[in-house]
Amino acid sequence: MDDLTRRVDRMEGLLDEIKPLLARLDERLNHLATKADLSATKGELLEKLAEKPGKGYLWTVLAVLVGAILASVAAGVGLK
């Protein structure tokens, strides 16, 4: 019985150490994002990315600009 009392006392001491840790963890958990928060944010991000121009569009615009510059340079060279 003496051994059991000693073990229970030791467990109570450990619980006294664990309680403040659990309280701090509980406070931090309130500030973390939930699965629903992450899912909603992912949906918003995908929606905004869908509105952005694609790579094909950007390459087409770049090709048109380079073509216009080359045409103006060629026209300028021909004037001299």
pLDDT digits (tens, 9 = 90+) for 10-48: 999 999 999 999 999 988 888 888 999 999 999 999 999
Alpha helices in the chain (DSSP H): 2-29, 35-51, 55-79
Integer distance in angstroms from the first to the last C-alpha of the chain? Answer: 111
Mean pLDDT, rounded, of the chain: 90
**In this structure, what token pair is assigned to residue 23?**
């309280």
pLDDT band at 78 (very low <50, low <70, confident <90, very high): low
Q: Is 80 helix (H, G, I), strand (E, B) or coil?
A: coil
pLDDT for residue 80 is more than 60: no
**Residue recorded with tokens 């060279």:** 77
Residue 54, CA atoms < 13 Å, CB-side half-sphere: 3
pTM for this structure? Answer: 0.44
